[in-house]
Amino acid sequence: GAVVSQHPSWVICKSGTSVKIECRSLDFQATTMFWYRQFPKQSLMLMATSNEGSKATYEQGVEKDKFLINHASLTLSTLTVTSAHPEDSSFYICSARAGFMEEPQHFGDGTRLSIL
Amino acid sequence: AQSVAQPEDQVNVAEGNPLTVKCTYSVSGNPYLFWYVQYPNRGLQFLLKYITGDNLVKGSYGFEAEFNKSQTSFHLKKPSALVSDSALYFCAVRAGGGGFKTIFGAGTRLFVKA
């Protein structure tokens, strides 16, 4: 149980294009979803937290107009990297949590984004 | 401010030997503690958690962790390591004093040698 599906797993695109990443909780309802960015050999950097039907809460230093997050249902959240540039290249990981604070977060397999 | 420390960047252990991956934390309030494992080019997989109760928590794949309140530690252990345990391990903490935001440690890379 507690499966989180993230697509696509790998994206290569030209600078200036927008990229959408989907995150779905397959067998549970995710009251809260999280988006992380991970640099090589480093820990996770939380980008934003979203609750279904509400605007996402972005961490300090994360451009909300650059990284658009939509959490339209209890099983789906999307991250759109707008006008992507090479410095946006990274490994993006989504996570979902059901219920309240005692519940662990469950993670997708990540999306490796490469901007040429 | 909440923080999690994983003092070792890397742990090396021989297959069949016991392993320990260390984690200490600093929070306001009672902590919720978690361990996750990450394999290359994958997301994190949940291993185990401590919320309350017995200080020794058992989790997936034979892993266990011991909560020590006085030392503010939550070390991950396994009695007999497998080569397939080689991966990146993250400790995480969540507490009311931090608005229940999950804080992840920097990660510890475990190498199990055959």
Instruction: Decide: B19 and B113 in contact? Cβ < 8 Å.
Output: no
User: Could you give the CA distance from residue B76 to residue B59 in angstroms, rounded to a whole number?
Assistant: 10
CB contact set of A29 (below 8 Å; sequence gap of 6+) = A74, A75, A98
User: Min CA distance, B107 vs chain A (Å)?
Assistant: 6
Residues facing B88 on adjacent strands: B38, B109
Please give the average per-residue pLDDT across B11-28, as a whole number.
96
Please give the average per-residue pLDDT across B63-77, as a whole number.
97
Q: What per-residue confidence (pLDDT) applies to B63?
A: 97
Count of C-beta atoms within a 10 Å radius of residue A85: 12
- Between A22-26, A105-109, B26-30, B60-64, the lowest mean confidence (pLDDT) is in B26-30
pLDDT confidence band for B97 (50 / 70 / 90): low
Please give the average per-residue pLDDT across A53-68, as a whole number.
91
Q: What per-residue confidence (pLDDT) applies to A48?
A: 94
User: Min CA distance, B42 vs chain A (Å)?
Assistant: 4
User: Could you give the CA distance from residue A80 to residue A22 in angstroms, rounded to a whole number?
Assistant: 9
Chain B interface residues facing chain A, Cβ-Cβ under 8 Å?
A: 32, 34, 36, 41-46, 49, 51, 90, 94, 100-102, 104-107
- Between A38-42, A68-72, A79-83, B22-26, the lowest mean confidence (pLDDT) is in A38-42
H/E stretch holding A67 reads strand A67-73
Mean model confidence pLDDT for chain B: 93
Residue pLDDT, tens place only, A2-43? 889 999 999 999 999 999 999 999 998 888 999 999 988 778
CB contact set of B5 (below 8 Å; sequence gap of 6+) = B23, B24, B25, B26, B105, B106
SS (H, E, C) B26-81: ECCCCEEEEEEEECCCCCEEEEEEECCCCCEEECHHHCEEEEECCCCEEEEEECCC
A102 pLDDT above the threshold of 80: no
Residues in chain B: 114
User: Could you give the CA distance from residue B69 to residue B29 in angstroms, rounded to a whole number?
Assistant: 12
User: Min CA distance, A77 vs chain B (Å)?
Assistant: 16
B18/B41: higher pLDDT = B18
B105 pLDDT above the threshold of 80: yes
Residue pLDDT, tens place only, B35-61? 999 998 888 999 999 998 899 999 999
Q: What per-residue confidence (pLDDT) applies to A62?
A: 94
Taking CA–CA distances from A1, the nearest residue in chain B reads B46
